[in-house]
Amino acid sequence: MRIYRDKVARRVALQQLGICPANKAIASHLRGKLTMNDTNQSVLTERHIVLFGAIVQWFARYELTMKQAIAGVVGTELSCVAILMRGLDFAQKRAALLDLLRDRSVPQDRWERVFAYLSVPACHIQLRDAIVHSTWINCTEPRSIQPNWILKRPPSIEPLYLSETPDETRYTLEGLGEIAADLADGHERFLAYLIEAGLIRIQANVAKS
C-alpha cells in the first residue's frame, strides 16, 4: 500500500476511495449502535448457534462425500472433482452424482439407495439456506424461531390450493437438535454404504472444500 507522507495527499486519496474521517466516524458510530441493537434483539441462544453450526457442517460433509463418490466412479483424483464442482451448490452436486450413476449404468437398486440417502439432507436445504443467509426472529408458536424473511401474505390473496400443513419454517431447539442428529446419522449411513458398494475408494485424498 502506498504511504502518503503529506496529510493533504492522504486525505485526497481517501476521499477518492469514498473514505473520509467523517464517513469513518459515522460508520463506526452506526456499527456500535447496530451491535447493541442486534445484541438486545437477538433471539438466538448459544444452543441455537451450536446447532446451526452443526447443521451447516453436516451439509459440508455430505458435499465432500458426494465429491468422493464422483471421484471414485470416474476414477480420478478427488482434487480434480473438487475443482470442477467448486461453483456448484448442494442440489447441483446431488444432481451431478445421481446423473453420473445413471450414465455409468450403476444397478438400479444402488441408484435408489443413493437417492434415498441423499433425500435426508435434501429435505433440509431450505433450513440450511436460511441459517446461512437470514437473520432470525421469534414467531407465534411457543419457543419457536423463524427466518426474518418469511412473508406474511394478507388472507385475501392466499392461494386456494394451499393445504393445512405444518409451517416448516418454524423451529424449536428440540426440532433443530433432531435435524442435526438426523443429518449426522444419515451421513454416517450414506458414507458406509458408498464404501460398501465400492463407489468410494478408501485411499481417496482428503478433499478441499
Q: What is the pLDDT along the chain (209 residues), one digit of tens a residue?
A: 454 456 666 665 556 555 555 555 544 544 555 443 454 357 899 999 999 999 999 999 999 999 999 999 999 999 999 999 999 999 999 999 999 999 999 999 999 999 999 999 999 999 999 999 999 999 888 889 999 876 655 555 444 444 443 446 899 999 999 999 999 999 999 999 999 999 997 754 444 44
Q: Return the SS3 of 207.
A: coil
Residue 97 belongs to domain spanning: 44-196
5/107 same-domain check: no
Single out the residue of 147, 106, 98, 87 nearest to residue 122, CA to CA. Answer: 98
What domain count does the chain have?
A: 2
10/35 same-domain check: yes
145/157 same-domain check: yes
DSSP symbol at 17? T
Give dist(CA 182, CA 59) in Å, integer: 12
Indicate whether 168 belongs to any domain.
Answer: yes
Indicate whether 63 belongs to any domain.
Answer: yes
100/80 same-domain check: yes
Indicate whether 206 belongs to any domain.
Answer: no
Give dist(CA 18, CA 13) in Å, integer: 9
The whole-number pLDDT of residue 162 equals 43
Indicate whether 209 belongs to any domain.
Answer: no
Indicate whether 204 belongs to any domain.
Answer: no
Indicate whether 91 belongs to any domain.
Answer: yes
Indicate whether 205 belongs to any domain.
Answer: no
136-138, strands of its sheet edge to edge: 136-138, 144-147, 171-172
The whole-number pLDDT of residue 31 equals 53
75/36 same-domain check: no
Report yes or no: 190 and 117 within 8 Å, Cβ to Cβ: yes
Indicate whether 183 belongs to any domain.
Answer: yes
